């Protein structure tokens, strides 16, 4: 598939290489796209991290916050005996110590302490805001940002030792989880400084890195999804002609019985099957939140 054949609206599953920021990837895609294409992404990956980065085209960019809010899955390696200021391999080593000597079952027992909901303190080198200043801006000046704990959830945290200092892991977690901070916390739990040495994001919501496109071939059909086919994990509702007009005018529509009383969002399809809107279920009504009036 060439640039000319790609719809200006949709999603690209990109296998991000190490060493690039998410913004770098967006800029690289913009240079390859025709001028009319609008490009964004659905959730940042740290430069050292590889794996699934969701790039959004055209109308898809208006859905960025919904992709950012999806659960994520990762795999990687935590290195013990060295702690860094960024909690990853790109940082400066600020602490050293002996790696712990644990059996495979003891490692898993330590990891299991983090499964479930808990309060995580974000890294100082993060994009969290302290007032109007990013935390990383303060950290680069040698200041210690006062970061409040964030509620996250770990659904699965499977670990297996690689050697005396490295631990392989597979992780499924809620949006907002800092895997670098989890490496720090696991190190503290076993009495050793630690940092995230390797990290690959393998899943975002229903999407997997398997089949994702490399940056040198971003328009390959296997990793491109047209706008109407986007899966946000929400139930669908097909509008009638009258309901379509109401949605386009920003008006509420009566929710079918199967959706009444539920919480969350609904993907609304037009009578012809195209992606018309996202609506929030409000008691017995569907309230339009994002509407896409354009027909391609």
- Cα 252–chain centre separation: 30
CA distances from 263 to 227, 269, 284, 286 (A): 24, 19, 11, 11
Helices (H), the chain: 22-32, 64-68, 104-112, 135-140, 179-190, 241-248
Catalytic entry in 15, 46, 88, 228: 46
Spatial neighbors of 142 by CB under 8 A, at least 6 apart, are none
Q: Which residues contact 262 (CB under 8 A, 6 or more apart)?
A: 235, 281
Q: From residue 103, how far is each of 67, 132, 133, 230, 294 by CA, in Å?
A: 38, 46, 43, 44, 59
Task: For residue 62, count CB atoms less than 10 angstroms from its CB and return exposed for 0-12, middle for 13-18, buried for 19 or more.
Answer: middle
Which pair of structure tokens corresponds to residue 122?
Answer: 């974000």
Is position 296 annotated as part of the catalytic site? Answer: no
The whole-angstrom separation of Cα 105 and Cα 161 is: 10
d(CA 200, CA 108): 20
Provide DSSP, 16-37. Answer: EPTT--HHHHHHHHHHHS-TT-
Q: 16: how many CB neighbours lie within 10 A of its CB? A: 26
Cα four-point dihedral sign 246, 252, 254, 260? positive
Q: Which residues pair with 272 in a beta bridge?
A: none
Written as six digits, the tokens of 69 are 């809010």
* Catalytically active residues, by annotation: 46
């Amino acid at each position: 598939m060439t640039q000319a054949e790609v719809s200006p609206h949709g999603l690209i599953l990109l296998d991000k290489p190490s060493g690039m920021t998410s913004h770098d990837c967006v800029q690289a895609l913009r240079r390859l796209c025709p001028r009319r294409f609008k490009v964004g992404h659905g959730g940042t990956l740290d430069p050292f991290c590889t794996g699934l980065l969701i790039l959004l085209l055209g109308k898809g960019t208006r859905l960025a916050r919904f992709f950012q809010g999806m659960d994520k899955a990762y795999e990687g390696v935590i290195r013990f005996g060295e702690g860094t200021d960024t909690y990853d391999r790109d940082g400066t080593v600020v602490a050293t110590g002996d790696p712990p000597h644990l059996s495979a079952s003891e490692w898993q027992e330590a990891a299991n302490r983090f499964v479930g909901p808990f309060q995580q303190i974000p890294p100082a080198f993060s994009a969290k805001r302290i007032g109007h200043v990013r935390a990383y801006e303060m950290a680069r000046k040698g200041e210690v940002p006062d970061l409040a704990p964030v509620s996250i959830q770990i659904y699965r945290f499977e670990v297996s030792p690689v050697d005396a200092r490295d631990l392989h892991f597979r992780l499924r977690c809620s949006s907002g989880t800092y895997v670098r901070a989890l490496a720090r916390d696991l190190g503290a739990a076993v009495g050793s400084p630690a940092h995230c040495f390797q990290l690959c994001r393998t899943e975002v919501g229903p999407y997997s890195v398997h089949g994702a496109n490399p940056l040198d071939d971003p328009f390959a059909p296997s990793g491109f999804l047209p706008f109407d086919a986007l899966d946000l994990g929400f139930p669908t509702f097909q509008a009638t002609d009258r309901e379509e007009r109401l949605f386009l005018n920003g008006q509420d529509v009566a929710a079918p019985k199967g959706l009444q009383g539920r919480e969350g969002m609904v993907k609304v399809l037009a009578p012809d099957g195209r992606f018309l809107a996202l609506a929030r279920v409000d008691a017995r009504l569907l309230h339009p939140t994002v509407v896409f009036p354009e027909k391609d």
